[in-house]
């Protein structure tokens, strides 16, 4: 596989590991806040804080470029109706994906939730390729789900609502990939991501307000440690992974990046075990490995198909402009 002169694969792999680890450990930190404020309220705070941080960074970068005499990119106030429509749709899918994912990891282990959620992008990739050889990877993913179904049938602690939330999050993840690709084509820079995060937070905030929670989120203002944990969740689950993914894509071919990102379910399971004492038994590990194999396979065959047509490849992250979930 060829690398450009300025690419450093070892550094790129380090950034991928940083992104995956930060994303899943951020989700683990969020789980510790659920008993205090509820999953949806934590999701709202995470998106809102991340939006402010990313938006502030975009604004400062634009001001710095302006001082150097460079042209400032157009801000949200100068966007067209088409750009605003794309960003709002992106924000809605972003908010729903994160809201359902947080509801899922409130009820089931993080590793299991991420593995089930992977079915959304896998299904999307399978539908877009429409090649018979990709049926192998579809069957691999189905085998993973059958293993999870077997565990659910013989287990006594299966939370079907949590699994349903993870599946719905996967559907919105697929929609998120499609909508973010359009925003990436219409809106330059990361301003679209910042506004979409804010739209997502505003969309699920009314639901979070009516869903019963142990205490309102603003009570965290009385405890500096809780404020630090909420801010840390936003940084670990959004800002750091997004920045690390951008650096990784500068140092790795896109298909290599996407294959490495398929490690997320395993890293999520490790994060759940390390921080939350969540056990992932052998049956779940088999399912996780099958789903990861399907992800790697569909990525490689899609990349080969794109190369053969001379159009290059688009990785899972290259088709979007921000981190996945968590």
pLDDT in tens, 202-252: 999 999 999 888 888 888 888 899 899 999 999 998 888 888 887 787 777
CA distance 162 to 107: 5
Nearest to 180 by CA among 245, 88, 99: 88
| Spatial separation of the C-alpha atoms in residues 204 and 55, rounded to whole Å | 20
Query: What's the CA gap between 248 and 238, in Å, rounded?
Result: 15
Token output for 150 = 């077997």
Q: How far apart are CA 232 and CA 326, in angstroms?
A: 13
Give the domain ranges of the chain: 9-308
Helix axes 160-186, 135-154, angle to 10 degrees: 150
Q: Who's near 45: CB < 8 A, 6+ residues apart?
A: 37, 201, 217, 230, 233, 234
Whether the CA torsion 162, 149, 138, 267 is positive or negative: it is positive
Output the pTM of the full model.
Answer: 0.82
Residue linked to tokens 């590991």: 17
What contacts 187, CB < 8 A, 6 or more positions away?
79, 83, 86, 87
> Tens-of-pLDDT digits for all 326 residues of the chain?
445 556 677 787 888 888 888 988 888 889 999 999 999 999 999 999 999 998 898 888 878 877 887 776 677 888 889 999 999 999 999 999 999 999 999 998 888 888 888 778 777 766 766 666 667 777 787 787 777 767 665 665 678 899 899 999 999 988 888 888 788 788 877 788 889 999 999 999 999 999 888 888 888 888 899 899 999 999 998 888 888 887 787 777 766 676 777 778 888 888 888 888 887 778 878 888 887 787 777 766 665 555 544 433 333 333 333 444 55
Nearest to 31 by CA among 131, 101, 124: 101
Q: Cβ(208)–Cβ(44) under 8 Å? A: yes
So what's the pLDDT on residue 263? 77
Q: How far apart are CA 255 and CA 52, in angstroms?
A: 31
Asked if 196 and 87 count as a contact pair (C-beta separation under 8 A), the reply is: yes
Encode pLDDT of 150-187 as tens digits: 766 566 567 889 989 999 999 998 888 888 878 878 88
pLDDT digits (tens, 9 = 90+) for 159-169: 889 989 999 99
pLDDT reported for residue 52 = 93
């Amino acid at each position: 596989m060829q690398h450009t002169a300025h690419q450093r694969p070892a550094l790129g792999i380090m950034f991928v590991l940083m992104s995956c680890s930060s994303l899943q450990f951020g989700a683990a930190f969020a789980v510790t806040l659920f008993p205090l404020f509820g999953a949806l309220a934590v999701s709202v705070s995470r998106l809102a804080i991340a939006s402010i941080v990313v938006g502030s960074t975009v604004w400062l970068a634009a001001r710095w470029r302006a001082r150097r005499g460079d042209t400032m990119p157009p801000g949200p106030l100068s966007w067209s109706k088409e750009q605003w429509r794309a960003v709002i749709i992106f924000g809605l899918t972003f908010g729903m994906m994160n809201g359902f994912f947080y509801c899922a990891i409130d009820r089931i282990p993080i590793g299991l939730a991420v593995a089930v959620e992977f079915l959304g992008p896998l299904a999307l990739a399978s539908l877009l390729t429409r090649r018979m050889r990709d049926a192998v990877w579809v069957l691999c993913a189905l085998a993973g789900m059958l293993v999870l179904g077997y565990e659910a049938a013989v287990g006594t602690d299966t939370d079907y609502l949590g699994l349903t939330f993870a599946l719905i999050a996967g559907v919105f993840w697929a929609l998120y990939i499609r909508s973010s690709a359009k925003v990436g084509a219409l809106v330059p820079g990361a301003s679209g991501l910042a506004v979409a995060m804010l739209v997502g937070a505003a969309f699920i905030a009314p639901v979070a307000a009516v869903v019963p929670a142990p205490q309102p989120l603003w009570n965290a203002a009385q405890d500096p440690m809780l404020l630090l944990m909420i801010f840390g969740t936003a940084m670990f689950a959004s800002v750091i992974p997004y920045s690390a993914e951008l650096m990784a894509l500068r140092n790795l071919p896109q298909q290599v990046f996407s294959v490495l990102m398929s490690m997320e379910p395993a890293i999520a399971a490790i994060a759940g075990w390390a921080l939350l004492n969540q056990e992932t038994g052998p049956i779940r590990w088999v399912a996780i490995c099958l789903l990861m194999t399907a992800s790697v396979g569909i990525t490689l065959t899609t990349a080969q198909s794109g190369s053969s047509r001379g159009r290059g490849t688009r990785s899972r992250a290259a088709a979007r402009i921000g981190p996945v979930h968590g």
